[in-house]
Amino acid sequence: MAGQKILAMVMAGGEGTRLYPLTAERSKPAVPFGGRYRIVDFVLSNLINSEIHSIYVLVQYKSQSLIEHIHRGWVLSPIIPGQFISIVPPQMREGPEWFLGTADAVYQNLNLIEPHAPDLVAVFGADHVYRMDVRQMVRFHLEREADVTVAALPVPIKEATAFGIINANRSGRIVGFVEKPQVPPPMPSDPTRAFASMGNYLFNTQVLIEALHEAHRLGEKDFGKDVIPRLIATHRVYAYDFSKNSVPGVRPYEEPAYWRDVGTIDAYYAAHQDTLGAEPRFNLFNPRWPVCSSGYQGPVAAIVRGTLENSDVGAGSLIKDAVVKNSVLRREVLLEEGVVVEDSIIMDYSIVRAGAKLKRVIVDRYNVIEAGERIGYDLEADRKRFYVTDSGIVVIPKGAHRADVRRYY
């Protein structure tokens, strides 16, 4: 990677319809995750930790909270040339349309790429929870003299029908790509698994520019559906095996090469559970590869009394006398006396009044759960008021008013 000039284009315009109602007022990359993060923080942290400091973030749907989050938490020093994280909404340079797909989004912003004259352009999604040392993918790309490299995740063959599947030979060169195939081609080294595209791409710059001009001429809009399959026939396109990516500081008990597309409520909920426990599948605390986010200028969490088991409690939260099990409380959450919270996620600035009980509930920001409420115990009753997944997770949409928990101290 030494001597390579790399520019990153982060695709952060996702509407995230399958995450509704968490995406009712925000884009998917802006959805909160864990005790203090948002989903976009994972890709930005991976790039910065990988010493890629020139980053454009392409936004689109309901982007205001995402824009504010990046402005608060991700401003890099302008003193160093080539060090920036810049937000790019649709400029409509080619007409009145917004971004019509991932390839179209980058095509509409080719004017941003060309002045930097990078050797490589990393086009990464902003919708996933993972750690990745991108430098190892760059090294793989250079060693094979690739024109394009696609990050690929080995998945069990029985689950591969849900992904875009890469057919690669033993050297890693891609010979085919099929979207959600009924009979997925297995990996050459492991017939029980298949290569799933992660939606992260590395391009030689001139190849990208020429491919996008051709895609525009042909009316193509998407990398995975259109551009990559066409380039396979004419260029050196390789699959980088993400399972071989090694990140400093990952503990032996963690799931190797952890990666989750948190695109549904159930997947989002499950990923939170993966961060809990003494030996979590995905430990959010890793000083050698930190996940960064916006700063918080407020008090630490305070626990007057209560029972806490296998849970995370965010800064500024106040627990007066409550039971919390297998749950994540974000910043400035208030739990009053007699509250029971189990297997739940309660987001920032929410209040749970005395005696309320919640089980397998996601409470979005700015909510007040009234005294004595029982949510998650009678799903038929809950469906009349809230969104409930088929697996029985209750989701309470974002409330209207911020509650200042600090006044309860």
Binding residues for alpha-D-glucose 1-phosphate: 164, 179-180, 197
What tokens appear for 315 in the block?
A: 């800064």
**In which element (H, E) is residue 112 found?**
helix 110-113
Q: How far apart are CA 87 and CA 356, in angstroms?
A: 41
What tokens appear for 341 in the block?
A: 């919270």
Q: How far apart are CA 80 and CA 101, in angstroms?
A: 32
Short-list 52, 41, 49, CA closest to 248: 49
Q: How many CB atoms lie within 10 A of CB 147?
A: 19
Binding residues: 164, 179-180, 197
Type of residue numbered 263? G
Q: Which residue has the tokens 């739990």?
A: 335
DSSP state of 184: P
Strand 387-388 and strand 374-375: the pairing is unpaired
Is-contact 33 39, C-beta < 8 A? Answer: yes
Q: What is the CA radius of gyration of the chain?
A: 22
**In which element (H, E) is residue 104 found?**
helix 102-107
Strand 368-369 and strand 351-352: the pairing is parallel
Type of residue numbered 316? G
Return the SS3 of 138: helix
SS3 content of the chain, % helix, strand, coil (to 5): 25, 30, 45
Q: How far apart are CA 32 and CA 23, in angstroms?
A: 10
Strand 37-38 and strand 32-33: the pairing is antiparallel
What tokens appear for 290 in the block?
A: 């930190």
Q: How many CB atoms lie within 10 A of CB 112?
A: 16
Q: How far apart are CA 266 and CA 283, in angstroms?
A: 20
Q: How far apart are CA 55 and CA 85, in angstroms?
A: 5
Q: How far apart are CA 5 and CA 322, in angstroms?
A: 53
Is-contact 116 204, C-beta < 8 A? Answer: no
